[in-house]
Structure 1
Amino acid sequence: MVEYTMIEREAGALQQPVPLEQIEAMCQRAFGKGRALLSVKELGGGGHNNTYRVQLADMEPVILRVSPERGPRLAHYEVDLMRNEQYAQPFLAPIAPLLPKTLMIDFTHQLLGRDYIFQTFMPGELWSDIENELAMEEDLDLYRQMGEIARLIHDVEGETFGQPARGHTFDSWSAQVFHTLEHTIKDIEAARLDASDMRALLTLARDHQYLLDEVRRPHLLHGDLWTFNLLVRRGGEKQPPTISAVLDSDRCWWGDPLADWTMFLLRIKGTESLDPKVVAGTRAFWQTYSDQGVEPSDSSSQFRLHVYYGMSFGAARLELHRRPDHDRVRQTYLRLQEILEFLHTII
């Protein structure tokens, strides 16, 4: 009897459970029919894929990740994320020891109408789960390590902006930004939400295209590097904790490092968090990430940063609407208004 533990979700949730018989068929395809399946436990924490810890006979545990079905509920940037992750793997070579190894991928949809992947199980605890248990200096050590990891990723240069694996490539950075804003507006309006603030942001970006095109070289962006995607191993007595794994690299793309989701969260957490450890941690990140040790403050960089913040709030609006979290959806409109007001003061 296979022990199967799954997370109960609403019928309309994006993450739909995978029946046990299909998981058994997926395991047989990946590891052979003679390998007995002992247990399957669904893991929480993510909001896109279904993730399972799978134990088979005479093997170390493995991770099974199953993407959502394609359909109108996915935003434009959420389609084929697992395929995008496989494209990005060779470019993440500078942090290879921190990445789960791919054991098997199936994009055929023969067993299940969804992409899925088996990966090695990475030991450690999610940083976001244990952050409240860490002392101030332990947390600061981890933020400095995250800054070093982000720098390693961002130092990888590419040949084009966008996401080549998904057919979205652009010769200029402004074209990529316009594409993102235009499609986010379409997604917001398709969800029957007001996107007039995003249209105003797009107009400002187009009117100051030259500031965007000061970014001439595409750099690799992780797209989801934060405490909820980092595993940590705690040190012994007087030993600092260390980041042991980087998870969920499916949102990688090529662009301006300041446009990475990490930078958006640094600003939000650094200015709005009530936890002094988090606020101090955002400053510790910059100590190892940048030679200057702080976020760039020149007017061109600040213009771009605030355009990116607006892009990120637009994406967040869609995800919060889908949950649904109406209060936080309303907050995105307030934040966009603040961003638009700031942009008008510096241009």
Structure 2
Amino acid sequence: MDFQPIERAADAFQRPVSPDRIQAVCRRVFGRDARSAVELGLGAYNSTYRVTVEGRERPVVVRFAPEPAAQFGSERELMRNEYATVPYLAVIAPLMPRVIAADWSHELIGRDYLVQTFLDGVPAPEGLGDYPRTARTTFFRQMGEIARSVHSVRGPAFGPVAGGGHASWSEAVLAALEGIASDLDRCALDAADVRKAAVLAAERRAVLDEIIEPRLLTGDLWTVNVMIARGAPEPVITGVLDLDRTSWGDPAADWTIRMASAKRDERVAFWDGYGEPAGGDAATWRSLIYEVRHLGAVRLERHRLGNHDGVGHSYEAVAKVLSELT
């Protein structure tokens, strides 16, 4: 088998998978050998390979979750969460990869893995640079339409799709903040600012509980998880992938909404596809709580990736948000 891994530092979070394990997966799923496996490097969590299999015209994608012991509590079993979300993503099914096989048994390798169809196109972080900024409004308008479709899906409870669920939105938000704080403790990072936000959220939980209907949140939909058509006259979204952080909650809490609101550039076209966001004092206060949650998760990711300067900057960012909350 032609095997092309990405060379990583010995202490990198993403751990390689040996050729013989990839071969074993292909024999289990397809009853055939793999001819090649090329590691794909866009993601920073799972280990992902484009694999060609004997007798199959198109390649497949094989994704391996991190070893269980390496996962943060707030990010535990994300791949299983993604798999549980598939039935709720019918609204964007033409854009999603199809799951060929999922294996949580750890019989072949001590990690969860998914085998999925390969999406055509170019990763948006690579392809958008081929277009002038004025042409990218089309892309962000499509992003808004996709997010609106996902947010239209109603759920049974609040919290991660594969989780047990919370009866109220405040319970889900407080649990998420505490989960992040506990992970920061585990990493020997100061979590006092995240816990301060949790205290403020608990004091005004009635404002959080104005959100009474759980809606599906993408969790991580932005350019890094989108494919666009190759060589099109304007950027056209052809695929959406890696929605492993999905949950039920307030659409305003979604990472997508946070990123769409971050700058006044071509991304403002997002709102043409999505619709105007909710306004008012309550929505503004909730958005600040959500921002601390996002920044806490970003701090954990930066720590995981060895970005020590970025970890430090996250404390400054949270302090600014807390000053607006208090």
Aligned-partner Cα distance in 1 for 2:322–2:51: 47
Residue matched to 1:281: 266
Instruction: Choose which of 188, 195, 200 in structure 2 pairs with 1:192.
Output: 188
Residues in 1 aligned to 2:289 and 2:270: alpha-carbon distance in whole angstroms? 22
What RMSD, in angstroms, separates the aligned Cα atoms of the two structures?
1.3
CA distance in 2, matches of 1:28, 1:251: 29
**1:103-142, aligned counterparts within 5 Å?**
103-142=100-139
- Select 1:267's aligned residue among 261, 273, 283: 261
Seq. identity, %:
41
Number of residues of Structure 1 aligned to a counterpart in Structure 2: 325
Question: Contact 2:26–2:33 at 8 Å: present in 1 too?
Answer: no
Report if the CA contact (8 A) 1:229-1:247 is conserved.
yes
Which amino acid is the alignment partner of residue 244 of structure 2? D
Cα drift, residue 235 of structure 1: 5.3
> Secondary structure at 1:165's aligned position in 2?
coil
Picking from 142, 154, 162, the partner of 2:151 is 154
After superposition, where does 1:1-347 map in structure 2 within 5 Å? 2-32=1-31, 35-59=32-56, 60-71=58-69, 73-167=70-164, 169-234=165-230, 236=232, 239-268=233-262, 270=263, 279-290=264-275, 292=276, 295-344=277-326
8 A contact 2:161–2:246 mirrored in 1: no
Q: Is the 8 A contact 2:181 2:191 kept in 1?
A: yes
Which one-letter code corresponds to 2:26 in the other structure?
A: C
Amino acid at match of 2:71: L
Kindly state the Cα deviation for residue 280 of structure 1 after the two structures are TM-superposed: 2.2
Please tell me the residue identity of whatever aligns with 1:256. Answer: D
Asked if the contact 1:80–1:166 (Cα under 8 Å) also holds between the matched residues in 2, the reply is no
- C-alpha distance in structure 2 between counterparts of 1:263 and 1:328, whole Å: 22
Secondary structure of residue in 2 paired with 1:17: coil
Q: Distance in 2 between matches of 1:38 and 1:192?
A: 44
Which SS does the other structure have where 1:152 is aligned?
helix
- Structure 2: give runs of 5+ residues left out of the alignment: none
- Match of 1:276? none
Letter in 2 for 1:319: E
Using the size of structure 2 for normalisation, the TM-score is 0.96
Secondary structure at 1:4 match in 2: strand
Unaligned runs of 5+ in 1: 271-278
8 Å contact 1:162–1:254 — kept in the other structure? yes
**Deviation readout 1:76-123 (Å, 9 max, x if unpaired):** 221111111111001000000000011111111110000111111110
Structure 1 CA distance for aligned equivalents of residues 129 and 72 of structure 2: 33
Q: Following TM superposition, where does structure 1 have runs of at least 4 consecutive aligned residues deviating by more than 4 angstroms?
A: none
Distance 1:266 1:333 in 2: 22
Aligned partners of 1:156, 1:68: CA distance in 2, in Å?
29
**How much does 1:40 deviate?**
0.6
Equivalent-residue separation in structure 2 for 1:162 and 1:50 (angstroms): 26
Structure 2 CA distance, aligned partners of 1:44 and 1:164?
A: 27
Following superposition, the deviation at residue 170 of structure 1 comes to 0.4
